[in-house]
Amino acid sequence: MPLLITTSQKEAIAILAAGASRRLGQPKQLVRVDGSTLLQRAVDAARSTRAEVWLALGSEGDPFWHSLRDREALLRIDVPDASTGMSASLRAVARHAQSANIERLLVLLVDQHGVDSTWLTEMLQWSETFPGHIITSVYDGLRGAPAVFPRTRFDDLGKLEGDAGARHLLRSAQDTELVEFPAPRAPGDVDRIEDLPR
């Protein structure tokens, strides 16, 4: 069970880093972009905001955890069933958010190297402006992560199955439930070596 931290903060950023990187053929968490691993880049961007930073890791996550600087400020959430797909990580962080008195949960994927602290900060600000709404990034005409979920949607995250993550939840949400955040650039998605920035 993850350690509960008592805090007055009402928002958290959950970095999903429990995947096995099968298509890439090596752990994407440790792939370097501009001198930093994808995992460290995600953590640094998240830590530059006011939110708590959580890291969802699978059963093989110890090397990734120990690769990070200043782990003391992070909360590790173990995902023992990570091999069943991304939904396992979402279920784990949603359960923790419900028990940790979190009002807004921003979900960030570990390989989204195009996302910086400004992007995350603006999304959190939008979530305050539109309370109770999902805030989803929009790029290439599609809704996706990073995305912020209000507490009222944690149950929905906790019921997800398979490897599609929250994609169906984001794309099926009604306009009255969701606000589209125009992404300043492509967030990044590293599944193959060719996906890395040159």
Q: What is the pLDDT along the chain (198 residues), one digit of tens a residue?
A: 333 333 346 999 999 999 765 665 667 889 998 899 999 999 999 999 999 999 999 998 999 999 999 898 899 999 999 988 899 999 999 999 999 989 999 999 999 999 999 999 999 999 999 999 999 999 999 999 999 999 999 999 999 998 878 988 998 888 889 999 999 998 987 555 555 565
Q: Which residues contact 150 (CB under 8 A, 6 or more apart)?
A: 103, 104, 127, 131, 132, 133, 134
Residue at token pair 């993850």: 2
Q: Rounded to an integer, what distance in angstroms lies between the CA atom of residue 48 and that of residue 70?
A: 13
Return the pLDDT at 195.
55
Domains located in the chain, CATH noted = 11-195 (3.90.550.10)
Q: Which long-range contacts (CB under 8 A, 24 or more apart) does 126-135 make?
A: 126/179, 126/181, 127/11, 128/104, 130/179, 133/177, 133/178, 133/179, 134/169, 134/170, 134/173, 134/177, 134/178, 134/179, 135/178, 135/179, 135/181
Q: Rounded to an integer, what distance in angstroms lies between the CA atom of residue 39 and that of residue 29?
A: 5
Spatial contact of 106 and 124, defined as CB atoms under 8 Å apart: yes
Spatial contact of 157 and 149, defined as CB atoms under 8 Å apart: yes
Return the pLDDT at 75.
97
Return the pLDDT at 65.
97
Spatial contact of 29 and 110, defined as CB atoms under 8 Å apart: yes
DSSP 8-state assignment for residue 161: -
Other beta carbons within 10 angstroms of residue 48's beta carbon come to 14
Spatial contact of 49 and 115, defined as CB atoms under 8 Å apart: no
Return the pLDDT at 188.
83
For residue 85 the two structure tokens come to 């797909």
Among candidates 122, 40, 117, which has minimal Cα distance to 74?
A: 40
- Sheet strand arrangement including 134-139: 74-78, 52-57, 11-16, 104-109, 142-150, 134-139, 178-182
Other beta carbons within 10 angstroms of residue 167's beta carbon come to 17
Distances (CA, A) of 86 to 5, 70, 77, 125, 194: 24, 26, 14, 26, 22
